């Protein structure tokens, strides 16, 4: 599976949009981009995934560049409960997930 690069930490004001970037320049054509988050002391929680089109669900939006070498997870209105470590993972979906170090997002009141 391709590796990803994420900033180690970010802050976001409560109520504002949180934009979390991810670089995956070696992504293969059959690999999806997945986002998970881990709130302290809990198991990782699925957020969203996409192949090449932008995706939106009730939690977030995923913007994937046309060359698929990077993506951005957008939390439109961040709340204090969104404070967590966010993991960007690229995988074919056929096997396990490889977790990098992720981005620690802190939502500030």
Partner 1 sequence: SAVISQKPSRDICQRGTSLTIQCQVDSQVTMMFWYRQQPGQSLTLIATANQGSEATYESGFVIDKFPISRPNLTFSTLTVSNMSPEDSSIYLCSDRWNYGYTFGSGTRLTVV
Q: Residues 47-86: x/- map of binding to partner 1 (CB under 8 A)?
A: --x-------------------------------------
CB 89 within 8 A of CB 95: no
Q: Cα dist. 27→18, 33, 72 in Å?
A: 24, 9, 15
Q: Applying CB under 8 A, does 7 fall inside the site for partner 1?
A: no
CB of 21 to partner 1, least distance (A): 18
Q: Applying CB under 8 A, does 88 fall inside the site for partner 1?
A: no
Query: What's 95's DSSP letter?
Result: S
SS3 (DSSP) at 82: helix
Of the pair 76, 98, the CB lying nearest partner 1 is at 98
Of the pair 48, 78, the CB lying nearest partner 1 is at 48
| CB atoms inside a 10 Å sphere around CB 13 | 11
Please identify which residue in 11, 25, 26, 93 interacts with partner 1, judged by CB under 8 A: 93
Cα separation, 51 vs 77, in Å, equals 24
Query: What's 96's DSSP letter?
Result: P
Please give the residue ranges that form the binding site for partner 1 (CB under 8 A). 32, 34, 36, 41-46, 49, 87, 93, 95-102
């Amino acid at each position: 599976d391709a590796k990803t690069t994420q900033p180690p930490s970010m802050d976001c004001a409560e109520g504002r949009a949180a934009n979390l970037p991810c670089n995956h320049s070696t992504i293969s054509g059959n690999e999806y981009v997945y986002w998970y988050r881990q709130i302290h002391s809990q198991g990782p929680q699925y957020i969203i995934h996409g192949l090449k089109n932008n995706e939106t669900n009730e939690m977030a939006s995923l913007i994937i560049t046309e060359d698929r070498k990077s993506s951005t997870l957008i939390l439109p209105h961040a709340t204090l409960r969104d404070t967590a470590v966010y993991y960007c993972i690229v995988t074919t979906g056929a096997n396990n997930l490889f977790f990098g170090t992720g981005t620690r997002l802190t939502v500030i009141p």
